[in-house]
Amino acid sequence: MNKIIIIALAILSISSFCCKKQKDIINELNLKGTWIESSQLSDTLVFKKNKSKGWFQLNRAREINGDYLLPLPNSGLYDYSINDDSISLILSLSNYRHPNKYYFNFYKDRGELNIGNFFEDSLSTDKILIFKKILN
* Angle at alpha carbon of residue 125, lines to 37 and 63, rounded to 5°: 50
- The structural domain count of the chain equals 1
Higher per-residue pLDDT: 18 or 32: 32
pTM above 0.75, yes or no: no
Three-state DSSP at 85 gives: coil
pLDDT digits (tens, 9 = 90+) for 100-125: 999 999 887 888 999 999 887 655 65
Length of the chain: 136
CATH number reported for the structural domain that contains residue 92 in this entry: 2.40.128
- Give the domain range for residue 46: 2-135
Beta-carbon contacts of residue 49 (< 8 Å; ≥ 6 apart): 31, 32
Give the pLDDT score at 50.
Answer: 82
> What is the C-alpha to C-alpha distance for residues 114 and 104, in angstroms, rounded to an integer?
6
Contact 127, 116 (CB under 8 A): yes
Give the pLDDT score at 18.
Answer: 45
